[in-house]
Structure 1
Amino acid sequence: MTKAVLGIVTLVILACFGLPMLLLSAVMGSSSGACSVAAAPSTNVSVQPTATTTWDTDQLNIALTIIQVGVTKGVGSWGQTIALAVAMQESGLRNLPYLGADNDHDSIGVFQQRPSQGWGTPEQLADPAYQAGKFYDKLKTIAGWQTMPLTEAAQAVQLSAYPDAYAKWTTNAVALVDQNGTGEIALDCSAMPLGSAEPAPRNPDGSWPEETCSIIPDPTTGTGCLTPRTLHLIRQAAAAGFPQPRCWRVDDHGEHPKGRACDFMMTSGSEASGAQKARGDAMAVWAVANADALGIRYVIWFRMIWTADDRRWGPYNNPFGGDDPSGWHTNHVHISMN
């Protein structure tokens, strides 16, 4: 495994908007932004990772990616804790490239997995979410991992030359999993402007006007209809740089046939990853940050749903079936309007 030494800087705690698995700062009316989940590789190899309680933005992005993948893999908080401790030890929560003489064989990435050992191609292993998924898949094959000490479970997956090194990261890993669950982690996301949407018209008393599906046809599909508020959402999303959605459709449920919902595709159909996933993350955060201004009722993205009633994200249970990227909303951001 890597000999890299990584500098650790300060954890940024800010007011929170966004996915609980990608807790981003987005302050209304300010220049805030959305963070890329797949952090760029770091080549800082000056020192060995050491136990710490502070992490910078890139490291927290990777930690939240590992937690999010753990949620989708169903390993619970203990599985997420094991994975975080391993990533802390192996890379200091950095997406490391191949480090030449400073590397252990052909190890790469957050978990320092090796292409020659069947973990995947170098291109696949450059994606932190892919490495996390492979780690969890292997962990789930270990009988009794749920009750093993962290070091034993971690070593059963990693086969490290230094199996006891994982133990020192237990407190840090537990803290991040706990903070993620309580919404206390937020990232400084100022690198990408988020912006405030122009508010949709309201009644004098602040309520939303009753609207019919009166925009005919829906300009995104050339058929059906939209409400004026939905059309306003489309225009504001376009101004913020997000893709053209598809909105009205014939259906027996939901808001699409009422002209009150749109799907903003991040891919042509497959599950989003890398830059596509980051773009979807950014749009989900933008939608939540501007929900009050635009009249957004709920947002669904990557197996998670945010509702205006609860003001928080939670697991999406896919009530209409379809075990595919469309059903789980991993290829598009769905926005429904009041």
Structure 2
Amino acid sequence: MSNRVVALVVGAFLLVGSCLAGPLLLLTSVNDECVPAPVTSMAGSPPTVGQWDAEQLANARTIVNVGTDRRIPARGQIIALATAMQESGLHNLAGGDRDSVGLFQQRPSQGWGTPAQIADPVYAAGKFYDKLATIRGWQTMPLTEAAQAVQGSSLPNAYAKWEDDATALGQQLGAGTGNAADCSTTTAAMADPVERNPDGSWPKEPCSIRPDPTTGSGCLTPRTLHLVQQAEAAGFPKPGCYRVDDHGEHPQGRACDFMMTSGGEASGAQKACGDAMAVWAVANADRLGIKYVIWFRRIWTRSEGWHAYNNPFGGDDPSGWHTNHVHISLE
């Protein structure tokens, strides 16, 4: 036997031996750590949805629920699931490579939060989605590129192999469910007005409502919270407002996206719901302090009314063209 073969055998033995502190399990190396892998058949076929254990399913359900609460399209939830499958095997790990912690092996030293925060699956999933939202064009990227843009892994192509599993599990858990608009209870009632200065201008407001109740992170201004409440009272879908970004009003807590679909371009009843909300927003612009509205390739401003929207991100992405959500920014 050659020295190279001997070295490989010894290395494999040491890896397995170092991982046998508990019951005998199939193992995988994640960030140079040994963690339980999803169970596979004896023939080596990929795991099916039913083969994830109770802990893994609970963590996956948390990832999907956080994504749904934040109005993240199904594609984003699947990217998050695949990332956690690669990074932790869907286990909430107490440690990992260097100071990595949790489902996504996020590192406190890289600004993801404290170890205690990252160890909370709800927080960890929220931080993943926060970062994903800053990746321009993530909706149309290959899954492994979007995941890598968030994670910065030394194995940038490793996420691709989990796409089928993440898609199947996401579908089982209802990824994207609840993101499509339901305007069946919409009313045409005018919104309650917000306070204005004596000269008619809008008071400057801090981003003081913490956390943003629509995303569970960041903050909103009181005027934005009022918009959310009035839109809900009028029967429109729950929005996602605060997000980390390098432009616009979202990171200032002064903008909300009201999803009409789970990610694709709206049509039929969903398009009609978006049309109705855009009309409602413009009709209430003075009462709510609305700065501008974007919907279906058009933008409304106080000075120009409705006119063509020039997508600054390019491509044919529904999010970039606002054909899947109504965007409202406030003064």
- Same fold, TM-score > 0.5, yes or no: no
Q: Which has the larger radius of gyration?
A: 2
Q: State the TM-score, normalizing by the size of structure 1.
A: 0.42
Q: State the TM-score, normalizing by the size of structure 2.
A: 0.43
| Higher normalized helix content (fraction of residues) | 2
Q: Whose RCO is larger (CA < 8 A, sep 6+)? A: 1
